[in-house]
Amino acid sequence: MLSGDGSFFILNRRKFNMSYKHLQIEQKWRDYWKDNETFKMTDDPAKPKFYALDMFPYPSGAGLHVGHPLGYIATDILSQFKRKQGYNVLHPMGWDAFGLPAEQYALDTGNDPAEFTAKNIATFKRQMDELGFSYDWDREVNTTDPKYYKWTQWIFIQLYKRGLAYMDEVAVNWCPALGTVLANEEVIDGKSERGGHPVERRPMRQWVLRITEYADRLLEDLDDLDWPESLKDMQRNWIGRSEGAQLTFAVEGSEQSFDVFTTRPDTIFGATYAVLAPEHKLVDSITTPEQKDAVAAYLDKVKLKSDLERTDLAKEKTGVFTGAYAVNPASGEKMPIWIADYVLVSYGTGAIMAVPAHDERDYEFAKEFGLPITEVVAGGDIEREAYTGEGTHVNSGFLDGLGKDEAIEKSIAWLVEEGKGEKKITYRLRDWLFSRQRYWGEPIPIIHWEDGTMTAVDESELPLELPVTGDIRPSGTGESPLANITEWVNVVDPETGMKGRRETNTMPQWAGSCWYYLRYIDPKNDDMLIDPELAERWLPVDIYVGGAEHAVLHLLYARFWHKVLYDIGVVKTKEPFQKLFNQGMILGEGNVKMSKSLGNVINPDDIVHSHGADTLRIYEMFMGPLEASKEWSTNGLDGSRKFLDRIWRLFVNEDGSLGSKIGGESDGTLDKVYNQTVKKVTEDFEGMHNNTAISQLMVFINECYKADRVPTEFAEGFVLLMSPITPHLAEELWEKLGHEGTITYVPWPTYDADKLVDDTVEIAVQINGKVRAKLEVDKDITKEELEKAALANEDVQKWIDGKELKKVIAIPGRLVNIVAVG
């Protein structure tokens, strides 16, 4: 629509009020704010603080689309609202700028990812400015800036020093054809997304963060957070705490043994076989010579399956017998040891005791391979299916006759006594795979020495900068492209002369976003991550708004780092984000996702041009509740613009002077609706119910149109109420009302509760629950008087004539309900 005949704009000039020139007005105030540094935050300890945070974006090449600003508008409204309420507001923005797309783009075009990123950031920033966001750009952070990632690296070193960062052999997606390791999302159906080459699981030495050590605290501290319950549940499920027992099984005829984890140690007498995950380290050593070939064949088959496929193809159980047996510590029976991929190496101990009578998966497997099934809990029919319900224990020796909870307790006590097991808590949460074999990320500040030791880079040498290079192609060895930059990789200890090699892995995109909310508070501090006094004043974040797609990973990782920083005394709060809000999505017309391929992406630049930034802001808030997914509607957008036109016509005459209705003292006409509006808008902004706040503002304007005049006090109050939503329009009207300078810090209007109620109220009278009449009565009427008045009413008389009155419920201020029969 920006190309060609330009008819779109001609159309819109006719469609909308010509005297409300949004392009001029919006530009004028953007310039004013910039020239006067209106939104620069100066910390005033005398004021209460408010920290409104958005999830900062990845600056992609595509720029913003209309879905992006939804949450940003909401936090901006809250920020502008709080400023007027006398808060010191911290409302910053920054860039999560490391990440794969820039690296891919650089590979494709031969450009430097840093240049590409800088260009994208400039576009995002321009777009945000044009939407009138009140960010303090002096506090902008950029995760790819060495001054910023100096501290990301510093945090890594603290993790390393505390034993929370370690190296381990982890299976990764290795693509031999591309010579690189792929992220899970780059692997589709076992093939590489780029080129469709085969991908295999291959163990490599990786950095891992010990987040599991914080699992309990991450779980417990959720309780006190003001987050959506569904999101807290997602985190709880992700952490997946599970109580049970760990017990040891001896392998018959060998010195070896293996541990299993079970939540049902009480069913131990029903364990008729054991299963190891294919990757279990005992697999090789216990397999008997006769079974070697079968086991090898099975392992080959499994290796080609990705994690996803292994779970997808869940219908049929597969497995192979090792030839070895374990001994059931309770019954003394021999249990064949099998290998099957329904047991995951990454959960528990990677091995299970199978109780087919009381576990659906074990039951299926036992049926498939003809393994024995022994009932130990009565109540089901194990001929037909596994019984997982409650029941009395049978065939279980000393557990016979007990119920589930008692049996669990007693079995654990017995295991402990016999030295064969113990109580154990297991988590679904796994340690965090932290290294990436990529160029465009924070270098991990570790040096591997030729004597086999490794050390962290000295903190005084940070930041360890990412070397600029023209060649960021994969090294081909599975190492990151940094491995090719010999002058960077190779180091010599100046004191001992020992040679070493820098870690070539880089950090994942999550790293920089784990702590950015801290840096906004003290963005230019070169001596420490954050000044402790400032941290104490500004934390926790009062409101954090972002998409639900980050419900688990980002929010869990950031909480983890925050707790580590708490432990080392950097911050004084246990949690970073006290209150969190997930905004919904904006869908294209037809309720489909906006996407390039569908061609239904709406670019905010176009709307800012055609309708104005204020229209876009108010429309996105008026569409519906912030948390809901909503369909974009051009008609709805026009409606929002019409509302602004309506305001403009009320406040401004054709010749640009202050509207002729505006001015003077109140004659009482608008008192009630004005005070209601102040009350509702104030409460709604506080609770982020911006859609209903706007509807109340519309009600007020409708009433103004019906009134002869709008007193100055109400006109000014209204402009203040509008200003967080439509800041440009509000500034312009504020000026028309005769004020100089910005409206930003003008105190928020208050309401007079006495003006909210009339002297008389309308009361509905129901007969048998149906409204049959309305009464106009004094607001302070008593219950008895109300009842009398209702029964005396003509319409009511008509309805109850000849009937027996069973009961009359009269509630002053609400209604009267008369129960009559006959």
Q: Looking at residues 658 to 697 of the shown chain, list those that interact with RNA (rule: CB under 7 A).
A: 689, 691-692, 694-695
Q: What is the DSSP letter of 377?
A: B
> Phi and psi for 174 in degrees, rounded to 5?
-100, 130
Verify binding: residue 811, RNA, rule CB under 7 A: yes
Binding residues for RNA restricted to 444-483, rule: CB under 7 A: none
Shorter beta-carbon distance to RNA: residue 593 or 739: 593
Query: Which strand (E) or helix (H) includes residue 426?
Result: strand 421-427
- Between the alpha carbon of residue 274 and those of residues 253, 427, 445, 689, the distances in Å are 16, 21, 43, 56
Lay out the site mask for RNA across 42-81 (x = CB under 7 A, - = otherwise). Answer: ----------------------------------------
**Could you give the CA distance from residue 519 to residue 576 in angstroms, rounded to a whole number?**
12
Q: Strands 94-95, 586-587: parallel, antiparallel or unpaired by DSSP?
A: unpaired
Q: Which of 2, 11, 568, 598 binds RNA (CB under 7 A)?
A: 11
Q: What is the DSSP letter of 602?
A: P
Shorter beta-carbon distance to RNA: residue 206 or 426: 426
Q: What is the DSSP letter of 136?
A: -
Q: Which of 65, 68, 139, 317 binds RNA (CB under 7 A)?
A: 317
Verify binding: residue 750, RNA, rule CB under 7 A: no
Lay out the site mask for RNA across 225-244 (x = CB under 7 A, - = otherwise). Answer: ----xx--xx--xx-x-x-x
Q: Which of 631, 671, 713, 785 binds RNA (CB under 7 A)?
A: 631
Shorter beta-carbon distance to RNA: residue 115 or 233: 233
Verify binding: residue 209, RNA, rule CB under 7 A: no
Q: Which of 75, 127, 262, 484 binds RNA (CB under 7 A)?
A: 262
Query: Which strand (E) or helix (H) includes residue 681?
Result: helix 671-686
Report the DSSP beta bridge partners of residue 763.
775
Q: Which of 639, 663, 746, 803 binds RNA (CB under 7 A)?
A: 639
Verify binding: residue 413, RNA, rule CB under 7 A: no
CB-based contact 781:789 (threshold 8 Å)? yes
Binding residues for RNA restricted to 703-722, rule: CB under 7 A: 705-706
**Could you give the CA distance from residue 542 to residue 176 in angstroms, rounded to a whole number?**
48
Least CB distance from residue 446 to RNA, whole Å?
Answer: 30
Verify binding: residue 15, RNA, rule CB under 7 A: yes
Binding residues for RNA restricted to 81-110, rule: CB under 7 A: none
Verify binding: residue 815, RNA, rule CB under 7 A: yes
Q: Strands 454-456, 446-449: parallel, antiparallel or unpaired by DSSP?
A: antiparallel
Least CB distance from residue 265 to RNA, whole Å?
Answer: 8
Verify binding: residue 210, RNA, rule CB under 7 A: no
Number of residues that bind RNA (CB under 7 A): 88
**Could you give the CA distance from residue 139 to residue 655 in angstroms, rounded to a whole number?**
42
CB-based contact 761:786 (threshold 8 Å)? no
Least CB distance from residue 179 to RNA, whole Å?
Answer: 29
**Could you give the CA distance from residue 94 to residue 515 in angstroms, rounded to a whole number?**
12
Piece of 115-123, 184-192, 434-442, 639-647 that binds RNA (CB under 7 A): 639-647
Piece of 35-43, 171-179, 635-643, 780-788 that binds RNA (CB under 7 A): 635-643
Longest dimension (CA), the chain: 111
CB-based contact 500:508 (threshold 8 Å)? no
Least CB distance from residue 480 to RNA, whole Å?
Answer: 27
Q: Which of 23, 62, 297, 313 binds RNA (CB under 7 A)?
A: 313
| Angular region, 599: left φ>0, alpha ψ -120 to 50, beta rest | left
Verify binding: residue 1, RNA, rule CB under 7 A: no
Q: Which of 20, 133, 261, 560 binds RNA (CB under 7 A)?
A: 261
CB-based contact 273:371 (threshold 8 Å)? yes
Verify binding: residue 146, RNA, rule CB under 7 A: no
Query: Which strand (E) or helix (H) includes residue 223?
Result: none
Verify binding: residue 411, RNA, rule CB under 7 A: no
Verify binding: residue 783, RNA, rule CB under 7 A: no
Q: Which of 388, 392, 768, 793 binds RNA (CB under 7 A)?
A: 768
Verify binding: residue 422, RNA, rule CB under 7 A: no
Q: Which of 13, 162, 281, 814 binds RNA (CB under 7 A)?
A: 814
Comparing CA positions, the residue from 27, 124, 96 lying closest to residue 550 is 96
Q: Which of 125, 201, 649, 672 binds RNA (CB under 7 A)?
A: 649
**Could you give the CA distance from residue 278 to residue 295 in angstroms, rounded to a whole number?**
9
Comparing CA positions, the residue from 348, 332, 375 lying closest to residue 244 is 348
Taken in order 378, 411, 215, 173, the sign of the CA dihedral is negative
Lay out the site mask for RNA across 512-551 (x = CB under 7 A, - = otherwise). Answer: ------------------------------------x--x
Taken in order 618, 619, 625, 626, the sign of the CA dihedral is negative
Taken in order 615, 617, 618, 623, the sign of the CA dihedral is positive
Verify binding: residue 426, RNA, rule CB under 7 A: yes
**CA 198 from chain center: how many Å?**
33
N-to-C CA span, the chain: 70
Q: Strands 580-583, 543-547: parallel, antiparallel or unpaired by DSSP?
A: parallel
Least CB distance from residue 158 to RNA, whole Å?
Answer: 29
Which residues lie below 8 Å from residue 599, measured CB to CB, with a gap of 6+? none
Query: Which strand (E) or helix (H) includes residue 811?
Result: strand 804-811
Lay out the site mask for RNA across 363-402 (x = CB under 7 A, - = otherwise). Answer: -x--------------------------------------
Piece of 70-78, 486-494, 632-640, 660-668 that binds RNA (CB under 7 A): 632-640
**Could you give the CA distance from residue 283 to residue 291 in angstroms, rounded to a whole number?**
11
Verify binding: residue 502, RNA, rule CB under 7 A: no
Shorter beta-carbon distance to RNA: residue 150 or 317: 317
Verify binding: residue 190, RNA, rule CB under 7 A: no
Shorter beta-carbon distance to RNA: residue 121 or 357: 357
Verify binding: residue 359, RNA, rule CB under 7 A: yes
Least CB distance from residue 553 to RNA, whole Å?
Answer: 9
Binding residues for RNA restricted to 785-804, rule: CB under 7 A: none
Verify binding: residue 817, RNA, rule CB under 7 A: yes
Report the DSSP beta bridge partners of residue 821.
804
